[in-house]
């Protein structure tokens, strides 16, 4: 989408991928827990009402089942930011760069095909990339 983000470390990259993949799998609780864990690495004990944060993220994810995900991505990012503010969850700046790239993809995909389910198209690609990375293959070639 013309937006590139490189995580400072492989560990931070893996955390971002795990969080995004959890969202793709509609597992908001896991995504929220991973967000909290990445906060606790740097500032343990700061998160308020972690379980409420996780449940609120899962509710947002459940709501996406009834709406076109990409039509509402801006709202979802705002919701995540608000929940993070309320529950004192520090968000990785990489989330916002990824969100901007998704917002651009949203506009393009909706302009081309309003019925396109881009997330389900992305999941196999992300799985393949994760498998290759686990095998120590650093270059991902398209089929």
CB atoms within 10 A of CB 41: 12
Cα 14 to the chain's mean position, in Å?
12
Structure confidence at residue 59 (pLDDT) = 95
Instruction: List the Cα angle 41/17/57 in 5-degree steps.
Output: 75
| 52 and 28 Cβ atoms separated by less than 8 Å | no
Query: Could you read off the pLDDT of 19-68 as tens digits, one per residue?
Result: 888 988 889 999 999 999 876 666 666 888 999 999 999 999 998 877 76
**3 state DSSP class of 43:** coil
Structure confidence at residue 53 (pLDDT) = 96
Dmax over Cα atoms in the chain, in whole Å? 46
C-alpha torsion sign, points 69, 104, 78, 8: positive
């Amino acid at each position: 989408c013309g937006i590139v983000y490189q995580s400072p470390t492989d560990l931070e990259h893996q955390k971002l991928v795990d969080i995004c993949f959890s969202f793709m799998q509609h597992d908001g609780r896991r995504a929220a827990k991973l967000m909290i864990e990445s906060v606790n690495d740097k500032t343990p004990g700061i998160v308020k009402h972690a379980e409420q944060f996780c449940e609120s993220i899962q509710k947002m994810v459940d709501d996406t089942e009834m709406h076109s995900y990409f039509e509402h991505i801006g709202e979802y990012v705002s919701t995540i930011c608000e929940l993070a503010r309320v529950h004192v969850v520090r968000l990785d700046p990489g989330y916002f760069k990824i969100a901007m790239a998704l917002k651009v993809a949203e506009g393009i995909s909706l302009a081309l095909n309003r019925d396109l389910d881009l997330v389900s198209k992305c999941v196999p690609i992300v799985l393949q990339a994760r498998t290759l990375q686990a095998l120590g293959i650093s270059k991902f070639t398209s089929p």
